[in-house]
Amino acid sequence: AAQLRPVLPSEGLNFALTDELDGDPGWLGQDRAVDAIRMGALAAHEDFNVFVLGQPGSGRHALAQSILAEVAQDRPVACDWVYVNNFEVPHKPVAIRLPAGSACRLRKMMETLVDDLASQIPALFESEDYQTRRRTIEEDFSAAHESEMAEVFEDARTAGVAIMRTPVGFSFAGLRDAKVLTQEQFDALGEEERAALEAAIERIQQRMSEALQAVPKREREHRRQVEQLNYQLASRGVDEAIREVQEGFAGEAAVARYLEAVRRDLIENAELFLIGEGEEEAGPFPVATSKRFELPQFQRYRVNVMVANGSSGAGAPVVKEELPTLANLIGRIEYAAEMGALVTNFTMIRPGALHRANGGYLVLDARQVLSEPLAWDALKRCLRTGEIPIYSPGERLSLVSTVSLEPDPVPLSVRVVLIGERMHYYLLSALDPDFLQLFKLEADFDDDLRLQEGASAGGYAQMIAGLARRAGARALDRAAVERMLLESLRMAGDAERLTLNFSRLSDLLREADFRAGRAGAAHIGAAHIETAAAEKERRAGRVRELGLETIRQGTVLIDTEGARIGQINALTVLQIGDYSFGRPSRLTARTRPGSGKLVDIERETELGGPVHSKGMLILQGYLAAAYATSAPLSLWASLVFEQSYGGVEGDSASAAELIALLSSLAEVPLDQSFAITGSVNQFGDIQAIGGVNQKIEGFFDVCAGRGLTGRQGVLIPAANLRHLNLRQRVVDAVAAGRFHVCPMRTVSDGIEVLTGREAGVRGSSGLFPEGSLNRLVEDRLQGFADIRRSFGKEGGGHAA
């Protein structure tokens, strides 16, 4: 009984309550993964991205983020990024890198600039100086025009020509004594006088035409003078207003180029600031005087802040993206509906996780990235090219052809930590040629920790104390911690290894805390841990209890007493969710003479998996090598799991199949008080199997339900002794001599327990001892060979 449960070391457990422990054991048992993540975080070389692989619940996310946060504190603060208007090519916004903490300052200064100009420019254009200079230009234009027209009219009067205005222009006629000549008076003139008047009219017409043709040119000159005046005035106002922004970002070449472009555009479009009162009220709420930058006409001067890292020295960013869609990774361009059409501009560009993590670290879940359309491809492209382009899935798949923005790609410098399971890593390594080039470091999390490693028990107690505090649970006493260690060993399936699945341990702790609270206890005791573990099994045990009931009722045939030829109790494990339990299954074998064929009914009906079929072929090899040494194996045998209607996989029943087959051949009954589990090789050695605790407990519960006789027990591989961690009910029964657990090293060990006979070892004569089971098997096989030989002769005679 003492071997059925592990012995816990006493070192490191010298406390009364876990409140006495600091609860910080470090990253227990994960030195290999910690070193890999730390190297990935510190390495300056490109493509040293990290793939963290391990089982869910092992603390992969928390560990990775903790290490990255620690390293990031000593890294420089990442730069800010903004998008601004491209005044020359508006559909290609310009990305500008800024020192940390400068993006919001630039945005605020540009907003202040627009607000200031919205007040200053109208005031400049309403000033007396401007009005005087503008009147002078207008008066000069009017005076020049009127002077020239006056000269034409004076010349016409002197020449005796009348100029008359009509709705369609000017008309000309002769003039005598200040009166316009009628057509009759004109015709009555002498020929010389009429010719002279016609020449004068033609000359005046020509001069009038020249005067009128000069008007557009004069108007252009007028406009040029007005524009020059406006430009000079606007330049003075803009230069004064923008000087503060330029001085605030002196030394930033990209900002200087942008501000120069803003300056030119402001001067050229000064009329934007002269919109009337009614026009600026878009909607029922007028724009505040201090928020003129929000008006649509000033949107072109706004600054779209993509990334704003504080300048307080907090270190590089560590970003974890929970939903890594394409848009959430690389950013997106939003659209607004206006008059039935979708419109956008540079202020509607939104950042992605890569923008926020630029200059730092990005943590992603591998399953989520791989399940999002186009996300994995976009992530690889960004890492490979070193820049972040922004595009939509529709553009990527050529599903839309609308005109959109083409923002400048942002240069990328980021270290990606991808967290997934081992299968994800191995599949990506095999199927994606880019993967190993981009993710050069793997941080492989251990699933368990060796109990004998130094002060592992003490460190594990520290870890349990930390889990309890983070869960807000009561403190545990020493007995409860020891009980937690036993449960941890059982979760790991090894009496020498503690599980590192913190999620399952935390669940058990929280439930134990609930039980302690219901009992009014001040702290968690061993009984609360025991109750929590038992209740967890009870909640998941519906199918297990139904199976036990069908066995008790005799619906499923399982014998726990007596002896039968070719029949044996094999042990299986069923997995439902995260709960597994053992259940016995009757295995039978029938034999007769044949051509050496073993019929696995499970395989023939396609219910047996490949590993189970492999076990059957190994069994066939053992039979042929151990017994058919002087004659062909002349056997036909069938093996089947009775009343099994589902799939069968694994080779843990191969020892049971072999012993049932030998029992049928030797016609020696097998003790039904025992069940057996174990894998056999071609030399007859018994090999370790999985789920040994659940298998033993499954048969024990069947026997206990019918009443323990003291004869019943389970045969297991000796190699599984280190995995034993049985429930107390089984340990108590073994200690009382009412149940037995028998280790086997070879198939002969199992034969002798189940048949009560010596298995027998082949002697110097080449024969097994008389009366041994192996001798009975070999004699029977020899008899089968004789029958086959005689049958062949008889068949040959008839053929002749």
Q: Could you give the residue numbers annotated as active site?
A: 652, 695
Identity of the residue numbered 43: A
Dist CA 466 CA 463 (whole Å): 5
Phi, psi angle pair for 676, to nearest 5°: -140, 145
DSSP annotation of 312: S
Closest alpha carbon to 745 in 716, 774, 712: 716
Indicate the residue type of 611: V
Token pair for residue 230?
């406006």
**What is the spatial distance between Cα 390 and Cα 404, in angstroms, rounded to a whole number?**
11
Q: How many CB atoms lie within 10 A of CB 322?
A: 10
Answer positive or negative: Cα dihedral of 773, 775, 781, 783. negative
Directed axis angle between helix 478-492 and helix 526-540, to 10°?
A: 30
Burial classification of residue 594, based on how many CB atoms lie within 10 Å of its CB (0-12 exposed, 13-18 middle, 19 or more buried): middle
The answer to whether 700 touches 739, Cβ cutoff 8 Å, is: yes
Q: Which amino acid is at 269?
A: N
Nearest to 570, CA basis, from 644, 646, 492: 644
Q: Say how far apart CA 742 and CA 13 lie, in whole Å.
A: 33
Which residue carries 């967290």 as its tokens? 419
Interatomic CA distance for residues 489 and 5, integer angstroms: 10
Rounded to 5°, angle at Cα 774 from 769 and 775: 50
- Tokens describing residue 238: 């803009």
Mapping DSSP to helix (H, G, I), strand (E, B) and coil, where does residue 608 land?
A: strand
Q: State the pairing for strand pair 94-98/415-420.
A: unpaired
Query: Do strands 318-320 and 361-365 pair parallel, antiparallel, or not at all (unpaired)?
Result: parallel
The full length of the chain comes to 800
Residue among 131, 108, 130, 123 nearest 273 (CA): 123
C-alpha distances in angstroms, 501 versus 322, 396, 495, 514, 677?
Answer: 22, 41, 16, 21, 28
Q: Look at residues 232, 231, 226, 233 and name the one whose alpha carbon lies nearest to residue 123.
A: 233
**What SS3 class is residue 252?**
coil
Q: Give the helix/strand (H/E) hosting 190.
A: none
CA distances from 231 to 110, 123, 270, 376 (A): 21, 15, 8, 53
In the numeric block, the tokens 């200079």 are attached to 133
Q: Provide the 10 A C-beta neighbour count for residue 354.
A: 25
Checking DSSP bridges between strand 341-343 and strand 567-576, what pairing results, if any?
unpaired
Cα–Cα distance measured from residue 698 to residue 717, given in angstroms and rounded to the nearest whole number: 17
3-state DSSP call for residue 487?
Answer: helix
